[in-house]
């Protein structure tokens, strides 16, 4: 004899991909009818036009069909009422832990724009995910966000469960939030400091990040309101400085490095981007932007150079296509994986502190 308990047990294997919880625990299973060997189930999703409704329906049919004695399964997909949605949002927020209690925050910054800071942040996050960690990527460069384009998610919108509960976009194993996914890519945001820091607070407090090992935070360049606010509010964060070998870039980068030290945020290293160019035909190496300045900067900040990333056409091409080079086992991808491994050795995730790298 088929029982409701068997059906509920089967449905606990069916997950809402956006909420990453099973439909039973989410309270989406509204009705179960058993007529001989036929089972009918009503499942109400958060919104009527959920793009994943067919996936959830098919998974439910698949799991129920595994129950001995079941020969026919009917799954009706509906939508929650507004009251049910609000109740779900309340329950999810009650379960949400303080993001920064169990998450290592890696802040990536630069003194000036155009040095490849966002490219480094995105590929570092992807590489950390490839090492087996749960990783979030917060684009704090509100006025100049490039993360959506670098990850190929331009035009995608985060899902809002209610006006104070947002689910991050998921791509390449990352959970991502960026202002660039709330507005049109070419729309300028003409905002002053208080509005900008307010958005950062919302990204911290109203996004359902879940359990993360690392949160990589891409700062805007310079020493303005957002970098200062982030560092003051996250004194346990670790700071990575991105610069180029050029003297002017290095000296400007030093300002944000010294700012981090003044607010007691540890500078764990420097990434020298556009470090050199190696001719693919003759193999000759050219230091287009000079050399030696990053070593001086590392000495002044009492830190080390974590990586030297060359000028490689493939990195630019893949980035323009929204494909992070760190995804693949290529020479370019290996650079970012090696960087991620160094970061993990320096900043172990709290629940993996004594575990070896995968």
Per-residue tens of pLDDT for the chain, all 358 residues: 899 999 999 999 999 877 778 999 889 999 999 999 999 999 999 877 777 889 999 999 999 999 999 999 999 999 998 888 888 888 877 766 666 778 999 999 999 999 999 999 999 999 999 999 999 999 999 888 999 999 999 989 887 777 778 889 989 999 999 998 988 777 777 777 778 888 888 888 888 888 899 999 999 999 888 999 999 988 899 999 999 999 888 889 999 999 999 999 999 999 999 999 988 888 888 999 889 899 999 999 999 999 999 999 999 999 999 999 999 889 889 999 999 999 999 999 876 554 545 5
111 is in an annotated binding site: yes
Strands (E) located in the chain: 15-16, 21-22, 29-35, 38-45, 72-79, 104-110, 135-139, 159-162, 165-167, 169-171, 174-178, 214-218, 238-243, 266-273, 277-278, 285-286, 305-309
116 is in an annotated binding site: yes
Contacts of 235 (CB under 8 A, 6+ apart): 263, 264, 265
CATH code for 4-95?
3.30.300.130
The pLDDT assigned to 354 comes to 43
Residue intervals of the chain classified under CATH 3.40.50.300 are 104-352
CB atoms within 10 A of CB 355: 11
112 is in an annotated binding site: yes
| Residue range 104-352 in CATH 3.40.50.300 | yes
d(CA 332, CA 323) in angstroms, rounded, equals: 12
For the four alpha carbons of 84, 86, 89 and 93, in that order, the dihedral sign comes to negative
- What pairing do the DSSP bridges indicate for beta strands 21-22 and 159-162? unpaired
Contact 92, 166 (CB under 8 A): no
**DSSP conformational letter for 207:** B
Model pTM score: 0.81
69 is in an annotated binding site: no
117 is in an annotated binding site: yes
Contact 111, 243 (CB under 8 A): yes
CA dihedral 44, 48, 54, 55 (to 10 degrees): -70
Contacts of 163 (CB under 8 A, 6+ apart): none
Residue intervals of the chain classified under CATH 3.30.300.130 are 4-95
Q: b/e per residue, 324-343, with b = 16+ CB within 10 A?
A: bbbbeeeebbebbbebbeeb
210 is in an annotated binding site: no
118 is in an annotated binding site: yes
């Amino acid at each position: 004899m088929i029982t409701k308990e068997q059906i509920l047990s089967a449905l606990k294997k069916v997950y809402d991909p956006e909420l990453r919880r099973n439909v039973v625990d989410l309270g989406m299973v509204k009705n179960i009818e058993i007529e001989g060997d036929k089972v009918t189930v009503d499942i109400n999703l958060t919104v009527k036009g959920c793009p994943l409704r067919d996936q959830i329906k098919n998974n439910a049919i698949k799991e129920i069909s595994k129950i001995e004695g079941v020969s026919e399964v009917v799954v009706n997909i509906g939508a929650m009422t507004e009251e049910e949605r609000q109740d779900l949002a309340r329950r999810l927020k009650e379960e949400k832990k303080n993001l920064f209690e169990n998450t290592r925050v890696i802040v990536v910054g630069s003194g000036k724009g155009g040095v490849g800071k966002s490219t480094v942040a995105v590929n570092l996050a992807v590489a950390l995910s490839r090492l087996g960690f749960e990783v979030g990527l917060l684009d704090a460069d509100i006025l100049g966000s490039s993360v959506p384009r670098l990850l190929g998610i331009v035009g995608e919108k985060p899902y809002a469960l209610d006006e104070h509960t947002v689910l991050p976009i998921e791509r390449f194993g990352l959970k991502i939030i960026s202002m660039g996914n709330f507005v049109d890519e070419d729309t300028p945001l003409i905002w002053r400091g208080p509005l900008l820091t307010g958005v950062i607070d919302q990204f911290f407090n109203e996004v359902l990040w879940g359990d993360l090992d690392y949160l990589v935070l891409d700062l805007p360049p310079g020493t303005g309101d957002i970098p200062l606010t982030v560092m003051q509010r996250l004194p346990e964060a670790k700071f990575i400085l991105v610069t180029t070998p050029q003297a002017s870039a290095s000296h400007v980068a030093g300002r944000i490095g010294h700012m981090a030290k003044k607010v007691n945020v540890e500078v764990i290293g420097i990434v020298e981007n556009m470090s050199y160019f190696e001719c693919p035909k003759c193999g000759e190496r050219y230091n287009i932007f000079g050399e030696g300045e990053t070593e001086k900067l590392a000495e002044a900040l009492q830190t080390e150079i974590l990586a030297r990333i060359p000028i490689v056409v493939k990195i630019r091409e893949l980035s323009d296509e929204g494909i992070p080079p760190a995804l693949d086992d290529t020479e370019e991808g290996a650079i970012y994986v090696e960087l991620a491994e160094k970061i993990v050795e320096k900043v172990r995730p709290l629940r993996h502190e004594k575990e070896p790298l995968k």
